[in-house]
A and B are shown apart, each in its own frame.
Chain A
Amino acid sequence: MQEKQILDHAKQAVNAMAPDCFDAIWEKASHADAKDYPIPKVTQTSKSRWKVSAFIGTMITIAACIAVFLGLSRYQQVTIYSTITLDINPSICICVNRNSEVLSMEGFNSDGEAIINNLKNAKHRKLNEVVTEMITSIADKGYFKDEIENSVLISVDAENTQVAQNFITELSEDISLVMEQRHISGNIISQQLTNVDTEVDKLAEKLHISKGKATLVKEISECDKKLSEETLANMKINELVTTAEAKHLNINKKNIQSKNSGSDITKNTKKPAVTNIPKSSKAPTSTKAPTATPKPEKSDREDTKGNDKKHTHKKNETRKHKNDEEQPQTTSAPEETVAPTSTPEATDDVNDAKPTKGPRPGRDPRPAPHPNPHRPRDGYPN
């Protein structure tokens, strides 16, 4: 059941139950003495205060007994367990401990720093609360434009796939709900990062961008040498995603439709779900995918006719950015068109640096997949 339906049903149910006793109230109030109807203040009674004291004493005793293990707990509390990066236009990195409590935050640009400065007492608060507040603040400050499809890139660096996927799932839901409440359309792109790729770290430092964005930049630039890393780094997330899709890099994207956004529905009919993860990320989530997606894998092309390929999932516990070395698993039938998966942003926001989109329907059928899907093929635009 959709959220709106739930709310409507709840409202109707309450309307059926709520009494209209205005006349009785007016009558009683007209003859009432204020002494008989004091304004209530909820205070603790002495009995409950004693119970609270006993409870506190017990808890202190228990805490004393387990004081031996506090050192280990403390270590876990302050140790960074996972890192989550959000790239919208503000670019923010959040470090959390094992309990998903925020340990620190960092802005990669002035907008990110401004957002962080506005957050009050974020440290040791739950990640999902802080992210919800952060996205709300970003929306309130107008970073989500009405006419342009908005993109939020979630990049998670965690110790294992399951943990990363949990973060991605929860944060995607939290962010999408805020966007829906604010009537903002857009896409949520997610990826899992690895902490062993020093090249990405160096690139991020060199370009002064987040590791999440640097990952995307690196993947695209490896695909198309004509696009410089600096050019890609200056692109917005929208544009990067469009470029990546034009290069047939599969992006784990979740589309958020805002009913009142006024955006062209036809623009947003692109399939939000993808079947495979990008080369350098683990199994993404696509919680609202119209089609079920298996554990994603590397770059395999999405059929523009709408028949998402089902690829076998190649286990790859450590992320690598060795796109050219991995082979596609499927031997799908030749596609009828070679048009890349188009996005509204590609149509609206193409700039000179961006590659042209693929040929329109009518082109000769695509030949059989090449072992290296990223090698430029004859006749293919770059």
Chain B
Amino acid sequence: MRTKLPNSNVSTDKDFTIKLDAVLFQQIAEGNKDAFRILYEQTYQSIYVYLLSIVQNKEEAEDLLQETFIRVRLYVDRYSDQGKPLAWMFTIARNLAYMRLRELKKKSFQEFETIQDMIGFSVIQNVEDRIVLEGAFQVLNDEERSIVLLHAVSGMKHKEIASILNKPLSTVLSKYNRAIKKLNQELSNNGKE
């Protein structure tokens, strides 16, 4: 269910780019649950898919999603308006994900591998959807997968993805093109089998 504030500060342009501004964050800092819900609904899928592309496990990604948003809620008043709130949120998510991966590897390499094998695609009912997502996890590397899935889920422009991932635009474009090509190839091969 989507909640809309009377004067919603979240707008999306025709390309569905997520736009957040300081006023929304201020409302969240003041404890406005509706404002936080708006932020959550606009961003949780993007952050979730980004986490999933790193940790490659559904349950871990869900935990990290909660951890990310809890920190956003707790530290929103300390976020300085530098014009990139989304990048700030993704940085938190990324760091949490890599910290978690390190912990898992330290714990037990075998357990780490087992966790990575259980991505959790079984919840996807649609066969074609599942095949495409499985393909993305099988043939793409971390960067390619993040870029493609962020573009698919959030509709972010490549320039925005480059800003979030702190990479040059040309790198994002190039990796995106390659990733689509690889996915196409993989899906064609699967279709032939």
| Residue ranges of A at the interface with B (Cβ–Cβ < 8 Å) | 1, 3, 6-22, 24-26, 28-29, 32, 34, 37, 39-42, 125-126, 128-130, 132-133, 136, 173-174, 177-178, 181
A132 touches B174 (CB 8 A): yes
Residues in B whose Cβ lies below 8 Å from that of A21: 62, 65-66
B95 at the interface (CB under 8 A from A): yes
- Sampled A-B contacts (23; CB under 8 Å): A1-B184, A1-B188, A6-B187, A10-B149, A13-B129, A13-B132, A14-B48, A17-B58, A17-B121, A22-B36, A25-B40, A29-B70, A34-B75, A40-B95, A129-B174, A132-B170, A132-B174, A133-B169, A133-B173, A136-B169, A136-B173, A177-B173, A177-B180
Q: Which 6 pairs from chain A and chain B are nearest by CB?
A: A133-B170, A13-B129, A9-B132, A29-B73, A13-B133, A40-B95
B130 touches A13 (CB 8 A): yes
A26 touches B36 (CB 8 A): yes
Residues in B whose Cβ lies below 8 Å from that of A126: 174
A21 to B59 alpha-carbon distance, docked (Å) = 12
B20 at the interface (CB under 8 A from A): no
Residues in B whose Cβ lies below 8 Å from that of A22: 36-37, 40-41, 44
Residues in A whose Cβ lies below 8 Å from that of B133: 9-10, 13-14, 17
Q: A10-B129, A17-B121, A132-B177 are in contact. List 10 more A-B contacts (CB 8 A).
A: A7-B151, A13-B129, A13-B130, A14-B152, A16-B123, A16-B124, A19-B65, A25-B69, A26-B36, A39-B95
Smallest Cβ-Cβ distance to B171: which chain A residue:
A129
- Residue of A7, A19, A24, A128 near B152 (CB, 8 A) is A7
Smallest Cβ-Cβ distance to B51: which chain A residue:
A18
Residues in B whose Cβ lies below 8 Å from that of A1: 132, 184, 187-188
Residues in B whose Cβ lies below 8 Å from that of A13: 121, 124, 126, 129-130, 132-133
Smallest Cβ-Cβ distance to A121: which chain B residue:
B168
| Residue ranges of B at the interface with A (Cβ–Cβ < 8 Å) | 33, 36-37, 40-41, 44-45, 48-49, 52, 58, 62, 65-67, 69-71, 73-75, 92, 94-96, 98-99, 120-121, 123-126, 128-133, 136, 148-149, 151-153, 158, 168-171, 173-174, 176-177, 180-181, 183-184, 187-188
A40 touches B132 (CB 8 A): no
Q: A319 to chain B: closest CB distance in Å?
A: 29
Q: Counting chain A CB atoms within 10 Å of each CB, which of B74, B168, B180 scores highest?
A: B74
Given contacts A10-B152, A25-B70, contact A39 B75 (CB under 8 A): yes
Smallest Cβ-Cβ distance to B187: which chain A residue:
A1
- Residue of B40, B70, B170, B183 near A6 (CB, 8 A) is B183
B149 touches A39 (CB 8 A): no
Residues in B whose Cβ lies below 8 Å from that of A25: 40, 66, 69-70, 73
Residues in B whose Cβ lies below 8 Å from that of A42: 94-95, 98-99
A18 to B99 alpha-carbon distance, docked (Å) = 21
A16 touches B92 (CB 8 A): no
Residues in A whose Cβ lies below 8 Å from that of B181: 173
Smallest Cβ-Cβ distance to B74: which chain A residue:
A34
Residues in A whose Cβ lies below 8 Å from that of B48: 14, 17-19
Q: B147 to chain A: closest CB distance in Å?
A: 12
A323 to B183 alpha-carbon distance, docked (Å) = 42
Residues in A whose Cβ lies below 8 Å from that of B176: 177
- Residue of B36, B45, B58, B98 near A15 (CB, 8 A) is B45
Q: Counting chain A CB atoms within 10 Å of each CB, which of B48, B123, B188 scores highest?
A: B48
A39 touches B170 (CB 8 A): no
A9 touches B128 (CB 8 A): yes
A129 to B33 alpha-carbon distance, docked (Å) = 44
A217 to B75 alpha-carbon distance, docked (Å) = 64
A14 to B120 alpha-carbon distance, docked (Å) = 11
B174 touches A17 (CB 8 A): no
